[in-house]
Chains A and B, each alone.
Chain A
Amino acid sequence: MGILNYKFEKSNIVITSLDNLLNWARLSSLYQMQFGLACCAIEMMAASASNFDIMRFGVIPRATPRQCDVMIVSGTVTLKMATRIKRLFDQMPEPRYVISMGSCSNCGGPYWEHGYHVLKGVDRVIPVDVYVPGCPPRPEALLEGLIKLQEKVRKESLAKKTA
Chain B
Amino acid sequence: MTAQEIHDNLKAKFGEAVAEAKLDALQPWIRVAEDLTGEIAEFLRDEPGFEFDYLSCLSGVEFQDGKLGVVYHLNSISKRHSIVLRATCTKEHPHIQSVSQVWGTANWHEREAYDMFGIVFDGHPDLRRILCGDDYPGHPLRKDFKVPEFYNGMKVPY
Which residues of A pack against B, CB within 8 Å?
A: 79-80, 82-83, 107-108, 112-113, 116-117, 119-120, 124-125
Provide the bound-state CA to CA distance between A64 and B156, in Å: 29
**A82: B residues at CB distance < 8 A:** 152, 154
Measured CB to CB, the nearest residue on chain A to B152 is: A83
How distant is B34 from chain A, measured CB to nearest CB, in Å?
A: 27
**Cα distance A43–B151 in the bound complex, in angstroms:** 30
Partner of B131, one of A117, A120, A125: A117
**A121 closest partner in B (C-beta):** B158
Q: Closest CB-CB distance, A124 to chain B, in whole Å?
A: 6
Pick the contact of B133 from A79, A124, A125 — CB < 8 Å?
A: A79
B57 at the interface (CB under 8 A from A): no
- Closest-by-CB residue of A relative to B151 is A79
**B156 lies within 8 A of A79 (CB):** yes
Closest 9 CB pairs of A and B: A80-B133, A112-B158, A116-B140, A120-B158, A116-B147, A79-B151, A117-B132, A124-B154, A79-B133
In the assembled complex, how far is the CB of residue A116 from the closest CB belonging to chain B, in whole angstroms? Answer: 5
Contact of B145 among A80, A83, A116, A120 (CB under 8 A): A116
How far is B152's CA from A23's CA once the two chains are assembled, in angstroms? 37
Q: What are the residues of chain A within 8 A of B155 when measuring CB–CB?
A: 120, 124
Inter-chain contacts of A80 with B (CB < 8 A): 132-133, 136
Interface residues of B in 96-155 (CB under 8 A from A): 131-133, 136, 140, 145, 147, 151-152, 154-155
**B156 & A116 in contact (Cβ 8 Å cutoff):** yes
Q: Please, which residues of chain A bring their CB within 8 A of the CB of B131?
A: 117
* A116: B residues at CB distance < 8 A: 140, 145, 147, 156
Q: How far in angstroms is the closest Cβ of chain B from A78? A: 8
Question: How many Å from the CB of B129 to the closest CB on chain A?
Answer: 9
- Contact present for B158 and A117 (CB under 8 Å): no
Neighbour of A120 across the interface among B132, B136, B157, CB < 8 A:
B157
Q: How far is the CB of A110 from chain B (nearest CB, A)?
A: 12
**Shortest Cβ gap from B114 to chain A (Å):** 15
0/1 interface trace, chain B 52-71, chain A, CB 8 Å (1 if under): 00000000000000000000
Asked if residues A125 and B147 are in contact (CB atoms below 8 Å), the reply is no
A contact residues around B151 at 8 Å (CB) = 79
Q: Which residue of the partner chain A has the closest CB to B157?
A: A120
Per the bound structure, the CA–CA distance linking A79 and B140 in Å amounts to 13
Smallest Cβ distance from A15 to chain B, in angstroms? 40
A124 and B136 CA atoms in complex are apart in Å by: 18
Question: Known interface pairs A79-B133, A108-B158, A112-B158. Does A117 touch B140 (Cβ–Cβ under 8 Å)?
Answer: yes
